[in-house]
Amino acid sequence: MEDNGKPSLHDDLTQAEDPSRQSFVNLHLALLAVQVSFSGFHVVGKLVLDDVPPLALACLRVLFATPVLLLFAARRGGRVPELRWLPRLALLGFLGVFLNQVLFIVGLSYTTPTNAAILMSSIPAFAVGVAALLGLERIGPYRLAGVILAICGALVLLDPTRFSLGDSTLLGNLLILINCLSYATFLVLHRPILRHLPWQTVIAGAFVFGSFGVLAVGGSTLGKLDPSSLSTATWAGVLYILVFPTALSYLLNSWAIRRSSSLLVAAYTTLQPLLTALLSSLFLSEVLTWRQAIGFALIASGLWCVSWRAGRRTRQGAAPENSA
């Protein structure tokens, strides 16, 4: 794809591993923005899901994000992938779009938000396991220590003693756990494909394939939704979910994996409990506690360990590498 040749923010986003300090800072700002968006989803979702069925919301997400991502790829450096890449893009769509969205939403309806939040902290651990099993990432001591610290910080924030295993939540817990494994695998499998295809093409292609599954299971629910019955506030919440935790966050995650590591992206998910608590304190008048301060310290330490090698090499003027 070609553009008019004028410099833009896109020029920075599509360059291969930029070794500058600013690139390193931009990477972490992008990952932080993703987690702020996802955390806002938890707060805004309290309003939206009172009026919009979960599967209908999942359908709205893919119906909005898929054409947006395709347009972005067409205009900003993407290309039509060769046939041999389509099965891999379909696998990414199955894991990161279909299973990730449907299993989480359905699982949440069978379990508690607390259980779901605690189980979500397993994503970095699953990512380490999948990456090591497939031999796609070298798991050095700094990365392993960082992932463990980040998971411990998330668990301190969430207080796992509140986790319940009653019969009524067993199915939901299982679905959430499978969702975490599928999303972690989605992140890990991203990296090899990004060596051959533009990141814009990869995420757009994943949504094309994943949207078929989401629409197949939720299309009938969406068809029964009466748009006129939704308030302006609900529509504003839906718009936020479509733009930020869906289209923008998936774009930034794919860009970040291209420039760093799937393990760093996975480790950043442990920030969600803290950011959700901060947003809740701002918008829902919830009070922050000492537990959240300790959890933040552990998570921040973990993220520093996971990204330490890349940060050191960046400061020395070398391109970020994929091992630590």
- The whole-number average pLDDT for the span 248-272 is 89
Residues 6+ apart with CB under 8 A from 292: 157, 274, 277
State which residues form the domain around 243. 37-315
Q: Using 50, 70 and 90 to split pLDDT, how confident is the model at 205? A: very high
Within a domain: 122: yes
In this structure, is residue 29 part of a structural domain?
A: no
Whether 57 maps to a domain, the answer reads: yes
35-39, 90-94, 164-168, 311-315: the lowest-pLDDT one:
311-315
- State residue 322's pLDDT score: 41
pLDDT for 2 beyond 60 = no
- Dist. CA 26–CA 4, nearest whole Å: 25
Which residue has tokens 């506690």?
289
Per-residue pLDDT at 272: 79
Task: Please report which residue ranges of 135-230 form alpha helices under DSSP H.
Answer: 141-158, 167-194, 199-223
Whether 246 is in a domain gets the answer yes
Amino acid at 314: T
pLDDT for the residue numbered 281:
67
Q: Is the pLDDT of residue 165 over 80?
A: no
Q: Which of 277, 278, 271 is nearest to 299 (CA)?
A: 271
What pLDDT does 317 receive?
45
Tell whether 5 is covered by a domain: no
pLDDT at 131: 87
Rounded mean pLDDT of 166-171? 74
3 pLDDT more than 50: no
Model confidence at 308: pLDDT above 50: yes
Would you say residue 316 has pLDDT above 70? Answer: no
Residue 304 placed within a domain: yes
pLDDT at 241: 93
Residue 208: the pLDDT is 97
Q: How many folded domains does the chain comprise?
A: 1
